[in-house]
Structure 1
Amino acid sequence: MCRFVIYKGTSPVQLSHLLTRPAHSIINQAFDCRLRLDRRRPMNGDGFGVGWYDAVYDEELGPQPTIFTSVTPAWNCPNLTRLASKIKSPLVFGHVRATTAGSLSHDNCHPFAYGKLMFMHNGGIAEWPSIKRRVQKDLPDAVFNMVQGNTDSEWAFALFLSKLPDPDSRTFTADVLRRAMLDTITSFNAFAEDAGVTEPSLMNFCVTDGETVIATRYISSSKDEAASLWYSSGTTFSEGGEEGHYKMVTADKRQHIIMVASEPLTFERADWMEIKTNTMVVITPRFNMLHIPIVDKFSAPTSTMRQVEFAEGKGFLNSPNSGRPQ
């Protein structure tokens, strides 16, 4: 299974404070998972990637994100350690990979980028070979040709781009990104139904244009739990008295930092809140965080107890406190 982390802050963060220094960063989670049970692939050693936007816009550099990927296990990459100690950004995507579809290559490492947009995925599209051709069929040439790898995740990004009025735009409203994400999920569900796919797809997608962030915790099932997703917000995210032990501190009512992660990055569980299954979160440029239920045939009544076995068996769900009313 994969893991990702998103950071959006009013001030740039040094990448090392997200990726390498915290004792429970996604890099350390890649080989030392404290909260997940994965009997199939206990290590996320199939590459990693980090993407970020410049803290100050430079016309010569342009608005697109910078992305660094490697097929080296994240915990064994000295270049990542060097870069992370010297780069700051107000919006960061980080991802560690365990392959579910696609080969081990740079082209298959998240995050993916197109123009100003950046995209990551944690999960898997069920029976991907049976719907891959259908996904590709209606894509515009520019979007089809931008795909370099062979993962279901990158094709999901291509499908998302095809839902935008203009994927090459320099500006996107939160509503445009939100609608495109919903249309992407709806299309995947329709393709699966047409192909007779019965296994649920796990679609924890996230996308940003450098200002707005959209993230989903979603499964195409009304009875199963989705891959886990958490968020934390506050004033500062900093190292405490013990080396490597970070904490989100809230000094006032304003949110200066919002983080979204597949698994909490600190051992302070009170710092983190779980995002409900089949929910979209929207982080606006002004740091409002909206939780929007994804209402479709896979919605479940609030009294329904979703089952954890499917996601947990694939290593996408932490075992403690699972199986609660949604």
Structure 2
Amino acid sequence: MCRLLIYKGTEPVQLAHLLTRPAHSIINQAFDSRLRVDMRRPINGDGFGVGWYDSVYDKDLGTHPCIFTSITPAWNNVNLTRLAEKIKSPLVFAHVRATTAGSLSLDNCHPFFMHNGSIEDFHKIKRRLQALIPDDIFDAVKGNTDSEWSFALFLSKLPDANASSFTHLQLQKAMLDTIATLNQLAEDAEITQPSLMNFCVTDGESVVATRYVSSRKDEAASLWFSSGTTFSEYADGGHYKMSKADKRENIIMIASEPLTFEKADWMEVKTNYMIVVTPKMNVLQIPIKDKFYMPPSDPASRSREVDLAAGKGLLAARDVRPVGQVVQAAA
């Protein structure tokens, strides 16, 4: 299953410290995912994407992020390794792909909008979803994945998709509206299998990410975050850790799988919660309160079943049941 990573910092980071140097970097996760239990598709080798914003504004370059994608496995792309050593950025999106929806092509490689999970029976709702998309956004869609059409739906929920920036509240509302619309389309189509919707988006200032499943009994795909003042290598061999020198949050990372083996570095995002990073580096965890939400005070919220996400290789090994109980591979 796919793996994703977000970095936002007050200072730019060399991409190599996220993508290639850590022993459990997102590239290493592509072929050695410690949280992946689906042994039938043990690698994420169906392409990758990296998006980043420039450290210094240049009027000739504009404000749009740079995006580098490839259909080759991330661990076997020498250009990615070279770029990672030469580029610094204060905001990075990275994604390695294991496909189940959409063909293996550059158009289907993220990070136009990062999605870890799947919209179940997407073919049953695709035409109705497309009918909701304004022409200008519809015409901009190049790929054929459930992820990119979900992104198009998200753009249609913004006050003005062509605006240069948005408030974190606007991004938050658009994300909630996107999930609600996908749920309604699934209900109208009588789709009973839950969808896993770990979505991530940024406008270069704010970040919004969800850990979500359209079910009251199933666990969502894994999502973690880490924050601190420095992220650095403390031992040879790519052993990194997040350090906190004071109460400031200079660095915030969100990942489907932790980049370090230091348990204290990472906090798990609760199922059916949204994590928002504001331009001022505040981290907000917000419940997605719909019919699938269960408050932490409800004992049932602590006993969600893991088979759905575990069977797709999307849940931490400590939470999963024996491998014989996995269900199907997805991406």
Short-chain TM bin: over 0.9
Partner of 2:328: none
> What do residues 229-280 of structure 1 show as CA deviations (whole Å, max 9, x unaligned)?
0000000000112220110011111010000000000011110000000000
Q: Is the 8 Å Cα contact of residues 93 and 111 (structure 1) preserved in structure 2?
A: yes
Question: What SS is found at the alignment partner of 1:240?
Answer: strand
Give distance in 1, aligned partners of 2:50 and 2:14.
Answer: 13
Residue 157 (structure 1) aligns with: 151
How far does residue 64 in structure 1 lie from its aligned partner after superposition?
Answer: 0.9
2:208 is matched with which residue: 189, 197, 214? Answer: 214
The answer (yes or no) to whether the contact 1:202–1:227 under 8 Å persists in 2 is: yes
Q: Which has the higher helix share?
A: 2
TM-align CA RMSD: 1.0
Distance in 1 of aligned mates of 2:320 and 2:250? 30
**What does the per-residue CA deviation read over 1:116-158, in whole Å, with 9 as the maximum and x for residues that have no partner?**
xxx2111000000000001100211110011101100000000
For residues 195-246 of structure 1, the C-alpha deviation after alignment (integer angstroms, 9 at most, x for no partner) is 0000000000000000000000000001000000000000000011222011
Does residue 1:99 correspond to 2:99, yes or no?
yes
Give me the whole-angstrom Cα distance separating, in 1, the residues matched to 2:197 and 2:319. Answer: 21
Give, as a single letter, the amino acid of the residue that structure 2 aligns with 1:99: T
Tell me the CA shift for residue 321 of structure 1.
4.2
Give the aligned residue type for 1:182: L
Q: CA deviation at 1:108?
A: 0.3
The amino acid that maps onto 1:172 is F
Among 188, 195, 216, the alignment partner of 1:194 is 188
Alignment partner of 2:129 out of 135, 138, 141: 135
Q: Any unmatched runs of 5+ in structure 2? A: 322-331
Q: 1:45-87 CA distances to partner (integer Å, 9 max, x unpaired)?
A: 0000000001111121111110000011000000000000000
Query: 1:32-47 maps to which residues of 2 (within 5 A)?
Result: 32-47=32-47
Distance in 2 of aligned mates of 1:87 and 1:29: 21
Q: Which residue of 1 aligns with 2:316?
A: 318
Q: Tell me, yes or no, if the aligned pair for 1:201 and 1:220 is still in contact at 8 Å.
A: yes
1:116 aligns with none
Identity percentage over the alignment? 70
Residues 47, 96 of structure 1: 8 Å contact kept: yes
SS of residue in 2 equivalent to 1:186? helix
8 Å CA contact 2:34–2:317 kept in 1: the answer is no
8 Å contact from structure 1 (residues 40, 315) kept in 2: no
1: CA distance, partners of 2:117 / 2:270: 16
> What is residue 78 of structure 2 aligned with on the other side?
78
* Distance change in 2, residues 1:292/1:322 (3 Å): farther
- Residue type at the aligned position of 1:151: T
Alpha-carbon distance in 1 for matches of 2:202, 2:295: 30
Give SS of 2:54's match. Answer: coil
Task: Report 1:277-288 matches (<5 A).
Answer: 277-288=271-282
Q: How many residues align?
A: 317
Residue 31 of structure 2 aligns to a residue whose secondary structure is coil
Q: Distance in 1 between matches of 2:309 and 2:132?
A: 30
Q: Distance in 2 between matches of 1:123 and 1:46?
A: 15
Can you list the C-alpha shifts for 1:157-189, whole angstroms capped at 9, x where unaligned? 000000001010012011110000000000000
- Write the distance in 1 (CA, Å) between the matches of 2:119 and 2:199: 11
The answer to whether the 8 A contact 1:131-1:195 is kept is yes
State yes or no: 1:66 paired with 2:81.
no
SS in 1 for 2:59: coil
Give SS of 1:12's match. strand
* Partner AA of 2:312 in structure 1: K
TM-score (norm 2): 0.94
Tell me, in whole angstroms, the C-alpha distance in 1 between the residues paired with 2:34 and 2:290: 33
Contact 2:46–2:96 (8 Å) recurs in 1: yes
Q: 2:127, 2:39 → 1: CA distance?
A: 31
Question: Tell me, what secondary structure is at the counterpart of 1:42?
Answer: coil
Show the counterpart of 2:13. 13
Shift of 1:300: 2.0
SS in 2 for 1:177: helix
**Which one-letter code corresponds to 2:147 in the other structure?**
S
Asked if the contact 2:5–2:26 (Cα under 8 Å) also holds between the matched residues in 1, the reply is: yes
Structure 2 counterpart of 1:204, from 198, 204, 208:
198
Which residue is equivalent to 2:255? 261
The residue type paired with residue 123 of structure 1 is G
Name segments (4+ residues, structure 1) moved above 3 Å: none
